[in-house]
């Protein structure tokens, strides 16, 4: 069973976090927008307070769909963006918001906008050796706000992901290509990228040009930037 919590009033907005983290990551964003949206945060399978779900991308998305409100705005950050794109091909949503995300995370001969697969494996392997320490170091490179950093570090320690979920998430990140599905979507799409993001190269803004992406002076966590807006 997946954990979710709903706060606020207004149109339904659902938040999907990235690999290794949990939905507490969005608390500051929720506080900022809870008077404009009815916001549901969800812990991905095996992350935070959610139980493991067997399978991969489709099985994870099917479980998430079970608890989604009707016709929501769907925001996906990083791995959550891949899930959001896939969900948008399965059910009706009113808007798709991708934050530091892409329909294909890994570079190949036909896709120049991803991270090198070997570099990604080195990055993820380093994190898996000590997930808590690795994630804390990662977020420390994303924000200099000490209060914000302390809150993020507490959520990392309090709600660790399972080994099964980490392995499933990596499999999804390494082997999912939703480029064709993304191009066929017929919903409003909003994109926010980080100028200094080392996982999602900012040059993907050239590919996203039809969606007129917003580029913030930030790394892989643009929603922590004061200028981030929905």
Domain ranges of the chain: 4-224
Considering the four listed CATH numbers 3.30.565.10, 3.40.47.10, 3.40.50.1820, 3.30.950.10, the one that applies to the domain covering 4-224 is 3.40.50.1820
Q: Report the C-alpha gap between 51 and 137 in whole angstroms.
A: 26
Instruction: List residues with catalytic annotation.
Output: 78, 197, 220
How many other C-beta atoms lie within 10 A of the C-beta of residue 130?
Answer: 11
How many whole angstroms separate alpha carbon 78 and alpha carbon 68? 19
- The kind and range of the H/E element at 101 are none
Q: Strand locations in 54-187, DSSP E?
A: 73-77, 95-99
Q: In residues, how long is the chain?
A: 230
Cα dihedral across residues 127, 157, 8, 4: positive or negative: positive
Tokens of 136: 């804390």
The answer to whether 29 touches 50, Cβ cutoff 8 Å, is: no
Q: Convert the pLDDT of each residue in 79-105 to its tens digit.
A: 999 999 999 999 999 999 999 999 999
- Kindly report, residue by residue over 101-119, the tens digit of the pLDDT: 999 999 988 999 998 888 7
Residue 182 has pLDDT above 90, yes or no: yes
């Amino acid at each position: 069973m997946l954990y979710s919590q709903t706060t606020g009033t207004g149109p339904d907005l659902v938040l999907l976090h990235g690999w290794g983290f949990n939905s507490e990551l969005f608390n500051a964003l929720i506080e900022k927008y809870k008077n404009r949206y009815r916001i549901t945060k969800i812990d991905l399978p095996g992350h935070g307070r959610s139980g493991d779900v067997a399978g991969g991308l489709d099985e994870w998305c099917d479980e998430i769909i079970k608890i989604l409100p009707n016709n929501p705005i769907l925001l996906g950050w990083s791995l959550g963006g891949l899930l959001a794109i896939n969900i948008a091909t399965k059910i009706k949503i009113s808007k798709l918001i991708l934050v530091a995300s892409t329909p294909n995370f890994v570079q190949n001969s036909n896709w120049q906008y991803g991270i090198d697969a070997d570099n990604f494996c080195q990055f993820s392997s380093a994190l898996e050796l000590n997930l808590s320490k690795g994630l804390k170091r990662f977020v420390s490179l994303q924000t200099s706000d000490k209060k914000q950093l302390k809150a993020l570090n507490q959520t990392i320690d309090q709600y660790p992901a399972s080994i099964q979920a980490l392995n499933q998430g990596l499999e999804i990140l390494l082997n999912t290509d939703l480029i064709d599905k993304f191009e066929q979507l017929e919903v409003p799409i909003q994109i926010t990228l980080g100028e200094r993001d080392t996982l999602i190269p900012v040059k993907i803004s050239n590919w996203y040009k039809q969606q007129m992406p917003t580029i913030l002076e930030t790394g892989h966590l643009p929603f922590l930037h004061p200028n981030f807006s929905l």
